[in-house]
Amino acid sequence: MTLIIHEHYPLKACNTFGVAATARWFAEAHDECEVREALSAAAARGAELLPLGGGSNLLLTGDLDAFVLRLASRGRRLLGEQDGQVLVEAEAGEPWHPFVLWTLEQGLCGLENLSLIPGTVGAAPMQNIGAYGVELKDVLHSLLALDRQSGQLCEFSAAECGFAYRDSRFKREAGRWLILRVRFALSRRAALQLDYGPLRQRLQALGIEQPSVQDVSRVVCAIRAEKLPDPQVLGNAGSFFKNPLVSAAKAEALRAQWPGLVSYPAAEGQVKLAAGWLIEQAGWKGYRRGDAGVHVQQALVLVNYGKATGRELLQLAQRIQADIYARFGVELEIEPLVR
């Protein structure tokens, strides 16, 4: 298959914020050969190659003088089973939520807490997606990535991915790796993760005392649908800020001033603060200026009510960051890639 290259390609439909922007060049790669062809085409044009998945973790603040490559490879397969562990592989372009549902249909456990997260399989390891007590690192077995510097294919075990909170070596080494396929270690024996309070509470409210993986997935979908707006209806990129990590001493000092502070223990004696709680306490929940706003039900989500530009959304985010630092002495980090 020969790569089809478009010029001055509109990207509004390629990002979940629904922000209008144009790529100087654009193509879709359906396999490794087309990925390599795109790399050559970008180099021949002296252009940066910018990979794109589902556009659900991206804020475009203007036109891109770059070669945008959407990774559109599809395919999912069972690779084998041993000692109750099932190895599953998916191509980078597979939409994430349908892939999760497919694993559940195969009778596999492990991805149910990650239901309804937007984006693609290949983008998931970039920021170590996580929700309701589970992170990708907990279920990832390995992945195959193309080294854009050497042209070599490299396989990474989970330990070699350098995962951290919403982070990975692939995010830190931006511009070097293109993830082509991902393998997951799943199980046929349910080991449900129900420690996230609202998840357990919702199951109990429904009278489900011994939930199945399908029950967990359905409840996760319901909670997410209630908390987060549908990008098809209201442009957004999900959680716009990371939950900040602070020292235990800092958290205690804040709790003395703000007794309702929402926080969670984290590694290395740190404490994770709920960014949404901080933003809501500062009065930003439901704020709107023009078509750029903060969601009325979830303060962690910035939304595009229709015609907001990426620059307007970024300016709103920067105002929130400055206000949170002034009030709490806490720095909020933007989660999506800003271009």
Residues annotated as catalytic are 166, 239, 335
Predicted local confidence at residue 190, as pLDDT: 82
pLDDT band of residue 226 (cuts 50, 70, 90) is: confident
> Which run of H or of E encompasses 314?
helix 310-328
The helix/strand/coil state of 82 is strand
Mean pLDDT, range 24-37, rounded to an integer = 97
Please, what is the average pLDDT of the chain? Answer: 95
Kindly tell me the burial class for residue 25, based on how many C-beta atoms sit within 10 Å of its own C-beta (0-12, 13-18, 19 or more).
buried
Lowest mean pLDDT among 146-150, 197-201, 331-335: 197-201
Q: Is the pLDDT of residue 267 over 90?
A: no
- Strands of the sheet containing 177-187, edge to edge, are 76-82, 85-91, 177-187, 140-147, 153-157
Predicted local confidence at residue 1, as pLDDT: 59
Predicted local confidence at residue 198, as pLDDT: 84
Helix axes of 213-227 and 197-205: crossing angle, nearest 10 degrees: 110
Q: Is the pLDDT of residue 83 over 80?
A: no
Predicted local confidence at residue 174, as pLDDT: 87
pTM attached to this predicted model:
0.90
CB of 3 closer than 8 Å to CB of 29: yes
Residues 6+ apart with CB under 8 A from 133: 113, 193, 194, 195, 196, 199
Q: Return the higher-pLDDT residue of 102 and 209.
A: 102
Q: Is the pLDDT of residue 268 over 90?
A: no
Closest CA to 223 of 239, 203, 253: 203
Domains and CATH numbers, the chain: 6-71 (3.30.43.10), 76-187 (3.30.465.10), 235-338 (3.90.78.10)
The helix/strand/coil state of 121 is coil
Kindly tell me the burial class for residue 65, based on how many C-beta atoms sit within 10 Å of its own C-beta (0-12, 13-18, 19 or more).
exposed
Residue type, 338: V
